[in-house]
Structure 1
Amino acid sequence: MGTDSASVVSARRTTAASTALISHSEASVRSRVNYVLARLIAKPMYRVWPLNDTGIRALNLLDGAFALVPAPSTVVQSVTELDSVPIERYVPQRDADDALAGATVLYLHGGGFTFCGAGTHRRVTSRLAGLLAVPVYSVIYRQLPFAGVGTAVHDAYAAYRRLLEICPDPGKVIVAGDSSGAFLAAKICELAAADGIAMPAAYIGYSTHVNLDVDLRDHAVICRDALMPVSAYTRAKQKWTRGPVDLRGARSLLQIDPAVFPPTFLTVAAKEMFEADIVEFAQLLGDGGRDVEAHVWQRQVHAFPVLDGLLPESLQAVGLTAEFLRRVLGARSSTAA
Structure 2
Amino acid sequence: MVSTPVPDFVNCTSTMPGVGDAIVTDDEFSMAKTASHAFLGNLADHKGFPGRSDSDELAIPAKVGSYRIFDFAMPASQQPYKVDDDTLTMERLNALHTQDRAKTLQGRHSMVVAVSADVVSTTEKEALDDKPMHENERIVLYLAGGAFIVCDTIHSKWMYIRMSQELGMRVFVPRYQVAPLYVYPRPLHDVYTAYQHLLGRGFRPQNILMIGISAGANICLSVLQLLAMNNKNSPSVAGCIVCEPFIDLTMSHSSWQGNQDKCVLPYVPCAEPGSISRVYFGPTDGVAADILGVLRLPLLSPLFADVTVFPPMQIQVGEDDVLHDEAKAFAARIPTAELIVYPGINHYTLLRGRAQLDLYYGNMRKFSNKVFGSDN
TM-score normalised by structure 2 residue count: 0.67
Alignment of 1:27-106 (within 5 A): 31=23, 33=25, 36-37=26-27, 39-49=29-39, 51-52=43-44, 56-57=48-49, 67-68=57-58, 70=60, 73-82=63-72, 83=74, 85-93=109-117, 94-95=119-120, 102-106=137-141
- 1:285 alignment counterpart: 334
Tell me the secondary structure at the aligned position of residue 245 of structure 2.
coil
What's the CA shift for 1:217?
4.5
Specify whether residues 177 and 42 from structure 1 end up closer, same or farther in structure 2 by C-alpha distance, changes over 3 A only: same
2-structure distance, mates of 1:232, 1:64? 36
Residue-by-residue CA offset, 1:214-248 (whole Å, 9 max, x unaligned): 1565754253442111039762322222279x998
Q: Does the 8 Å CA contact 1:86/1:139 hold for their aligned counterparts?
A: yes
Given the alignment, which residue of 233, 236, 243 partners 1:206? 243
What's the CA shift for 1:148?
1.5
Do structure 1's residue 267 and structure 2's residue 316 form an aligned pair? yes
Tell me the secondary structure at the aligned position of residue 213 of structure 1.
coil
Tell me the secondary structure at the aligned position of residue 147 of structure 1.
coil
- Aligned-partner residue type, residue 369 of structure 2: R
Tell me the secondary structure at the aligned position of residue 138 of structure 1.
strand
Specify whether residues 40 and 131 from structure 1 end up closer, same or farther in structure 2 by C-alpha distance, changes over 3 A only: closer
2-structure distance, mates of 1:112, 1:65? 25
Specify whether residues 135 and 118 from structure 1 end up closer, same or farther in structure 2 by C-alpha distance, changes over 3 A only: farther
Given the alignment, which residue of 277, 281, 294 partners 1:241? 281
Do structure 1's residue 221 and structure 2's residue 258 form an aligned pair? yes
Residue-by-residue CA offset, 1:166-210 (whole Å, 9 max, x unaligned): 244332111111100011111121111111154111111111112
Q: Does the 8 Å CA contact 1:224/1:273 hold for their aligned counterparts?
A: no
Structure 1 stretch displaced more, 220-229 or 258-267: 220-229
Q: Does the 8 Å CA contact 1:147/1:243 hold for their aligned counterparts?
A: no
2-structure distance, mates of 1:135, 1:296? 27
- 2:305 alignment counterpart: 256
2-structure distance, mates of 1:38, 1:111? 19
2-structure distance, mates of 1:111, 1:170? 26
Q: Does the 8 Å CA contact 1:113/1:240 hold for their aligned counterparts?
A: yes
1-structure distance, mates of 2:187, 2:344? 31
Tell me the secondary structure at the aligned position of residue 363 of structure 2.
helix
What's the CA shift for 1:297?
1.0
Q: Which has the higher helix share?
A: 1
Do structure 1's residue 314 and structure 2's residue 357 form an aligned pair? yes
2-structure distance, mates of 1:255, 1:52? 26
Given the alignment, which residue of 130, 148, 156 partners 2:165? 130
- 1:3 alignment counterpart: none
Residue-by-residue CA offset, 1:78-110 (whole Å, 9 max, x unaligned): 1113435211111344349xxxx6211111110
Do structure 1's residue 186 and structure 2's residue 221 form an aligned pair? yes
Q: Which has the higher strand share?
A: 1
Tell me the secondary structure at the aligned position of residue 205 of structure 1.
strand
- 2:87 alignment counterpart: none
CA-atom RMSD in angstroms: 3.3
Tell me the secondary structure at the aligned position of residue 149 of structure 1.
coil
Residue-by-residue CA offset, 1:124-167 (whole Å, 9 max, x unaligned): 21112122222211111100221123111221111112212224
Given the alignment, which residue of 198, 205, 210 partners 1:170? 205
Residue-by-residue CA offset, 1:266-301 (whole Å, 9 max, x unaligned): 211112111011011112111xxx3x2221112223
User: Which structure ranks higher in relative contact order (CA pairs < 8 Å, sequence separation ≥ 6)?
Assistant: 1
- Aligned-partner residue type, residue 43 of structure 2: L
Name which one, 1 or 2, has greater alpha-carbon Rg.
2
- Aligned-partner residue type, residue 226 of structure 1: C
Specify whether residues 136 and 311 from structure 1 end up closer, same or farther in structure 2 by C-alpha distance, changes over 3 A only: same
Specify whether residues 305 and 80 from structure 1 end up closer, same or farther in structure 2 by C-alpha distance, changes over 3 A only: farther
Q: Does the 8 Å CA contact 2:264/2:348 hold for their aligned counterparts?
A: no
Specify whether residues 108 and 285 from structure 1 end up closer, same or farther in structure 2 by C-alpha distance, changes over 3 A only: same
- Aligned-partner residue type, residue 181 of structure 1: G
- 2:367 alignment counterpart: 324
- Aligned-partner residue type, residue 57 of structure 1: F
2-structure distance, mates of 1:105, 1:89? 10
- Aligned-partner residue type, residue 333 of structure 2: L
1-structure distance, mates of 2:243, 2:56? 20
- 2:339 alignment counterpart: 294
TM-score normalised by structure 1 residue count: 0.74
Alignment of 1:127-166 (within 5 A): 127-166=162-201
Tell me the secondary structure at the aligned position of residue 268 of structure 2.
helix
Tell me the secondary structure at the aligned position of residue 280 of structure 2.
coil
Tell me the secondary structure at the aligned position of residue 66 of structure 2.
strand
Structure 1 stretch displaced more, 128-137 or 297-306: 297-306
